[in-house]
Amino acid sequence: MTKLTVLPNSYLTLNYRLTLPNGEDYINTFIDRPATVLMGSGQFAPCFEKVLLGLGVGEKKSALLAPEESFGERKEDLVQWVSLKALKEGRDDDVKFNPGDVIEFNAPGGAQYAGVLQSINEEGAWFDFNHPLAGRPVTFEAEIVAIL
């Protein structure tokens, strides 16, 4: 009997954990319930899919990923000023914004992107559009629960 392994277009159920350099969990499905993903669909970053390829049911693997392999280096040009008018566009008049909030914006063509509000005043706000894990190494640990 051939052993079933994770291939590029596999549907799989897995538990996974992303751990920060200080050991803190960023995401941990081991404590909740497994995730189901379709490999190659963009649900997982290619660096995570690469770790999973070839694993079988019940197998576990861990990899330390440098920033350039995972979420990239921080880019200071992704910290940008947004006018208060642009920030409030398409939102309720009474909406409140606070530093640390993750705010979604509509891009041309219907795409969306998000930034973390750094500071705000009566003219506008500074947003960080870097991924929250940009510039940080992460450990990706996964266990295959099922290959569907």
Q: What is the pLDDT of residues 81-138, one digit of tens each?
A: 999 998 988 888 888 999 999 999 887 788 888 999 999 999 999 999 999 899 999 9
**CB atoms < 10 A from the CB of 104, how many?**
8
| The pLDDT of residue 2 is above 80 | no
| pTM recorded for the entire structure | 0.78
Nearest to 22 by CA among 141, 140, 137, 131: 137
Segment holding 38, helix H or strand E: strand 35-38
Residue 1's pLDDT band, with cuts at 50, 70 and 90, is: low
115: left (phi over 0), alpha (psi -120 to 50) or beta: beta
Q: Which two tokens mark 30? A: 């081991």
Q: What is the pLDDT of residues 31-90, one digit of tens each?
A: 999 999 999 998 888 999 999 999 999 999 999 999 999 999 999 999 999 999 989 888
Q: How far apart are CA 146 and CA 75, in angstroms?
A: 38
Distance separating alpha carbons of residues 129 and 26, to the nearest angstrom: 18
pLDDT at 100 (0 to 100): 94
